[in-house]
Amino acid sequence: MTGTDWPLWEVFVRSRRGLSHTHAGSLHAPDAHMALRNARDLFTRRSEGVSLWVVPAGEITASSPDEKDPFFEPAGDKPYRHPTFYEVPEGVQNL
């Protein structure tokens, strides 16, 4: 297997504890173990991360930006799902 035959991996990095993983980029590697090692070397050289995820690009399923309005429309009529729907009582802190 040559480098051009290697599968594409998507890399997600969590920069600090308590934060979400964010997409950092892509790389080619022969397997998950090597993808993780290469991701560490490429995306956390300066101690930018505390956690890495590598995911085969072919395994990611995403919504299409062209279908944004019809895909997310069902949530638009449910304002109770948004924190602005509720009133915070006086005296409640750290919410």
The domain that holds 14 is classified in CATH as 3.10.20.520
Instruction: Residue 53: give the domain boundaries.
Output: 8-85
Overall number of domains in the chain: 1
Asked whether residue 95 is domain-assigned, the answer is no
Asked whether residue 63 is domain-assigned, the answer is yes
Asked whether residue 94 is domain-assigned, the answer is no
* Res. 4 pLDDT band, cuts 50 70 90: low
CA distance 14 to 67: 29
CA distance 43 to 30: 18
Specify the pLDDT at position 73.
72
pLDDT tens readout for residues 8-65:
999 999 988 878 999 999 999 999 999 999 999 999 888 778 899 999 999 999 888 8
